[in-house]
């Protein structure tokens, strides 16, 4: 079981209110991603749940029991750190077995669980090595192994992939998703990368300046962002925001159009191509549209538009409308 409920959780360091007050419910078995720009309080929130920091006020319940003042060890949670935080003086085997040893488990049971975790994570051949002799991806697996042997109520991941190179990151991302599908344990995952959030999460929590901007399934956030911040943060490349006369036509203060929802060829907007990046599968164009400003356009790979060309654009798909306060209409 891994149901976690935060009620009016607040955290201040002196006069700095990192988290002014958060209510959040995480259901058993959910994969929840905290996402937001750096300094938004997502890591602090995770550490509050872990018990590595005290809450200034509010309560944290785990499986219906108040855990606000429990030390980390008593919360039944496991954490994977950004730096992996492996014990450099222990072999992989000892690293993975450490939480079991701390729990006073019998040696035979420890061995059994370590072997099982090693098999799942493809670490069986490395059990007697030390962390210093492993690659980044292998270290990451050891850190995960150390977390899963305890069979915790929930896993906490603090930007676990940020120290890996791009190719490895995609692979590990899928492994963690598969792990979640097979274990069906609650996972809370912190990242600043909205791609990780979109691909892995059952539920995304978008944080900004210590406040929750929106909570929802990935596509829900993509299709119905509650405000400008979420609209701009979710989706890549970033949504285009247009103000002024064009927005007024739609009875809004600001309208938002995603780059992938603009088609090249015919349409009401006309402009000059500035930068054009041809990736093969897609082409990203920066177009200076008359009377509107620069828009990012995601066109098909074979589009024939280059620097200096004058092209016509048509907004398609959904046009997001926002009022003067940045809230969706």
Partner 1 sequence: MARAVTPRRKLITTLAAWAVALIIFFPVLWMILTSFKTEASAVANPPQFFSADWTLENYAEVWARSDYPRFFWNSVVISVGSTLLGLLVAVPSAWAMAFVPGRKTKDLLMWMLSTKMMPAVAVMIPLYLLFQRLGLIDTKFGLVVALMLMNLPIIIWMLYTYFKEIPGEILEASRMDGASLWGEIVHVLTPMALPGIASTMLLNIILAWNEAFWTIVLTTTKAAPLSAFIASFSAPQGLFYAKLSAASAMAIMPILILGWFSQKQLVRGLTFGAVK
Partner 2 sequence: MSTQSSRFAARMMVAPSVALLLIWMIVPLAMTLYYSFRLYRLISPDRTGWVGFNNYLWFVNSPDFWLALFNTLALVGGVLIITVVLGMLIALLIDQPVKGQGVLRILVIAPFFVMPPVAASIWENLFMHPQNGLFAAVARSFGAQPILFLENYPMLSVIGIVSWEWLPFATLILLTALQSLSSEQLEAAEMDGASALSRFRYIILPHATRAITVVILIQTIFLLGIFGEIFTTTQGGPGSASTTLPYMIFKQAIAAKDIGRAAAGGIIAVILANIVAYFLMRSIGKHLDA
Does 158 participate in binding partner 2 (rule CB under 8 A)? no
Q: How far is the CB of 320 from partner 1 (least distance, A)?
A: 40
First to last CA, the chain: 38
**Among 52, 85, 272, 319, interactor with partner 2 by CB under 8 A:** 52
- Which tokens belong to 111? 């061995």
Residue 51 in contact with partner 2, rule: CB under 8 A = yes
Matching residue, tokens 């943060």: 233
Torsion of CA 241, 244, 250, 252, to 10 degrees: 80
Within 8 A by CB and 6+ apart from 320, the residues are 225, 231, 239, 255, 256, 257, 328
Is-contact 221 193, C-beta < 8 A?
Answer: no
Q: Is 54 in the site for partner 2 (CB under 8 A)?
A: yes
User: Among partner 1, partner 2, none, what binds residue 53 when CB lies within 5 to 8 Å by partner kind?
Assistant: partner 2
User: Which CB, 87 or 171, lies closer to partner 1?
Assistant: 87
Query: CA 258, CA 320: separation in Å to the nearest integer?
Result: 9
User: Residue 85 binds which entry of partner 1, partner 2, none, with Cβ cut-offs from 5 to 8 Å by kind?
Assistant: partner 1
Minimum CB distance to partner 1, residue 72 (Å): 5
Which of partner 1, partner 2, none does residue 146 bind to, with CB < 5 to 8 Å depending on kind?
partner 1
Site membership for partner 1, residue 190 (CB under 8 A): no
Tokens of 278: 């041809």
Burial of 74 (0-12, 13-18, 19+ CB in 10 A): exposed
Q: Least distance (Å) from partner 2 to the CB of residue 72?
A: 8
Q: Does 85 bind partner 2 (CB under 8 A)?
A: no
Edge-to-edge, what's the strand order for the sheet holding 282-289? Answer: 293-300, 282-289, 262-278, 310-315
Closer residue to partner 2 (CB): 5 or 53 = 53
In the bound state with partner 2, the residue whose beta carbon lies nearer, of 54 and 165, is: 54
Residue 263 is given by DSSP the state: E
Report the alpha-carbon distance of residue 51 to residue 264 in Å, rounded. 52
Span from 21-29, 97-105, 109-117, 185-193 in contact with partner 1 (CB under 8 A): 97-105
Q: Is 53 in the site for partner 2 (CB under 8 A)?
A: yes
Q: Does 88 bind partner 2 (CB under 8 A)?
A: no
Residues that bind partner 1 (CB under 8 A): 50, 52, 71-73, 77-79, 81-83, 85-89, 98-99, 102-103, 146, 150
Residues that bind partner 2 (CB under 8 A): 51-54, 71
């Amino acid at each position: 079981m891994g149901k976690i409920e935060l009620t009016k959780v607040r955290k201040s360091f002196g006069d700095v209110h990192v988290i002014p007050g958060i209510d959040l419910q995480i259901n058993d078995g959910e994969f929840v991603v905290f996402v937001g720009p750096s300094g938004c309080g997502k890591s602090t929130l995770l550490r509050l749940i872990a018990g590595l920091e005290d809450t200034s006020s509010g309560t944290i319940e785990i499986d219906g029991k108040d855990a606000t003042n429990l030390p980390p060890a008593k919360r039944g949670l496991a954490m994977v750190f950004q730096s992996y935080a492996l014990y450099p003086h222990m072999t992989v085997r000892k690293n993975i077995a450490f939480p079991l040893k701390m729990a006073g488990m019998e040696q035979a049971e420890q061995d059994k669980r370590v072997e099982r975790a090693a098999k799942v994570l493809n670490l069986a051949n490395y059990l007697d090595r030390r962390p210093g002799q492993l690659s980044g991806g292998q270290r990451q697996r050891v850190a995960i192994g150390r977390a899963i042997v305890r069979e915790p109520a929930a896993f906490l991941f603090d930007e676990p992939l940020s120290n890996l190179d791009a190719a490895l990151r995609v692979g590990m991302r899928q492994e963690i998703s598969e792990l979640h599908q097979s274990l069906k344990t609650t996972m809370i995952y912190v990242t600043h990368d909205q791609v990780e959030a979109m691909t892995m999460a059952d539920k995304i929590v978008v944080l900004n300046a210590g406040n929750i901007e929106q909570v929802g399934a990935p596509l829900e956030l993509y299709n119905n962002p509650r405000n400008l911040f979420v609209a701009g943060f979710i989706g890549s490349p970033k949504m285009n925001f247009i103000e002024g006369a064009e927005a007024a036509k739609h009875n809004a203060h600001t309208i938002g159009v995603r780059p992938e929802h603009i088609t090249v060829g015919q349409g009401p907007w006309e402009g000059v191509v500035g930068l054009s990046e041809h990736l093969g599968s897609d082409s990203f164009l920066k177009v200076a549209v008359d009377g509107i400003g620069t828009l990012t356009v995601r066109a098909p790979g074979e589009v024939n538009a280059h620097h200096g060309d004058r092209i016509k654009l048509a907004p398609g798909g959904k046009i997001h409308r926002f009022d003067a306060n940045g809230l969706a209409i």
